Structure 1
Amino acid sequence: MIKLYLADISVLGDPQSDNSKISLLPQERQIKILKHKLADDRRRSLGAGMIINKILYENNVDVNSIHYGSNGKPYADNIFFNVAHSGKFAFGISSDKEVGCDVEIIKNAHLDIAKRFFTESEYNYISKSENSSNTFYKLWTIKESYIKLSGEGLRTPLNSFEINISDNDISITENNIAKDCSVTQFEFDNHSFAICSYEQPPRKIEFNYV
């Protein structure tokens, strides 16, 4: 079963001066959080750590039971999870199967990035859309969630696969062959969210707030 988690970092204190939340996290995560130079980056990393803690707690998994793939992606026995953060949110997802997720605050469209790193069809889809900013981040978050699902990260060129959108149906192809994964994308509070999974995503989007 897929579950979604959301942490609003705007209500969190700076973990550099407020240890009420960071002290509940593993030492390794605390060090990672405090390495960030900006307070909001520390809050975002804290929010992601809080989400991971909640996922592990809900699934009775000890933090020491986390494993890391060759690419550094964490997972635990019988539970897969992924986290991302941007803007005012940290976002997470858990599942019985591999998952990937992404969130981005919606700003102005980066058509130069799309032209350079996306496929030609994707670039044309963005440039011809009524709202190029929303469309750019829609495709961007889907691409990020897919490469996080695969575990390859940015070692996978973003133009080596293509996002196909028809009405509300979203699919991914590589060399014109459809990939066996499910994609969900939605917007909330001026942020674009995407989920890519080997399990059918929930029909109704409901966050578990952290």
Structure 2
Amino acid sequence: RYKLADDRKHSLGAGLIINKILNENNIDINSIYYGSNGKPYVDKIFFNAAHSGNFAFGVSSDKEIGCDVEIIKKPRLDVAKRFFTENEYNYIIHSENTSNAFYKLWTIKESYIKQSGKGLRTPLNSFEININKDTITVLENNKEKNCYITHFEFKNHSFAICSMEEPPLEIEFNYL
């Protein structure tokens, strides 16, 4: 359904990752269920995939999980001003590197709404990402959410994982 060749490649890459997750867990593709908002899952295995630039990225867990990846480029301060909270916007404009700060917040926010299964039905300013030196927390209705955030940058891309269990100690890269 994608018209551009790059979009077809990215979609194929994400599909290969999902197939790898299903194969590693001995799950038949016909066993996939879809939640009320369309998020796929299989009994006791939750998974998510994302793609951007040169990367397709996937995660799996026995609890709800979400991920996102974006190419780090010029920050969209207009988007941040309109869709992020005031504190998040201030975090970006006061950062030494506004591009990295913008995409760090963007990927974390995307991974959080994908983990919840609600997707973009959740307004991006209805929750807040707080980034301190060693911790990243999610606040919703002024309460800290019980989730774990993993963020890293690799080859000019920003990656984020939001999980309901302790984050992985090690990230594994598989090249397909």
TM-score tier by shorter-chain length is over 0.9
Q: What is residue 137 of structure 2 aligned with on the other side?
A: 171
Q: CA deviation at 1:84?
A: 0.4
- 1:50 alignment partner in structure 2: 16
Q: Could you say which structure has the greater relative contact order, defined with CA pairs below 8 angstroms and 6 or more residues apart?
A: 1
Give the 3-state SS of the residue equivalent to 1:94 in structure 2.
Answer: strand
TM-score (norm 1): 0.82
The match for 2:165 is 199
Match of 1:183 among 149, 157, 163: 149
Aligned partner letter, 2:40: P
Q: Distance in 2 between matches of 1:54 and 1:184?
A: 22
**Inter-partner Cα distance in structure 2 for 1:120 and 1:63:** 43
- Report the TM-score when normalising by structure 2: 0.98
How far 1:77 sits from its partner (Å)? Answer: 1.2
- Report deviation, 1:143: 0.2
Match of 1:154, SS state, is helix
Q: Which has the larger radius of gyration?
A: 1
Q: Deviations over 1:144-189 (max 9, x none)?
A: 0000000111111000000011102100001210000000110001
AA matched with 1:196: C
Deviations 1:96-118 (A, max 9, x none): 11100000001100001000000
Deviations 1:10-58 (A, max 9, x none): xxxxxxxxxxxxxxxxxxxxxxxxx101000000000001001111111
Query: 1:123-155 CA distances to partner (integer Å, 9 max, x unpaired)?
Result: 001001000000000000000000000011111
Q: Which portions of structure 1, spanning 4 or more consecutive aligned residues, are displaced by more than 3 angstroms?
A: none
Query: Secondary structure at the residue paired with 2:174?
Result: strand
Gaps of 5+ in 2: none
- SS of equivalent residue, structure 2 residue 88: helix
- Matching residue of 1:148: 114
1:201 Cα offset (Å): 1.0
Match of 1:88 in 2: 54
Alignment of 1:35-74 (within 5 A): 35-74=1-40
The whole-number CA distance in structure 2 between the counterparts of 1:209 and 1:70 is 33
CA distance in 1, matches of 2:24, 2:169: 22
Question: What is the CA distance between 1:207 and its match in structure 2?
Answer: 2.0
Give me the CA root mean square deviation: 0.8
User: Which residue type is aligned with residue 106 of structure 1?
Assistant: I
Indicate the SS of the match to 1:195.
strand
Structure 1: stretches of 5+ with no match in the other structure? 1-34
Q: Equivalents in 2 of 1:126, 1:91: separation in Å? A: 25
- Give the Å deviation of 1:196: 0.1
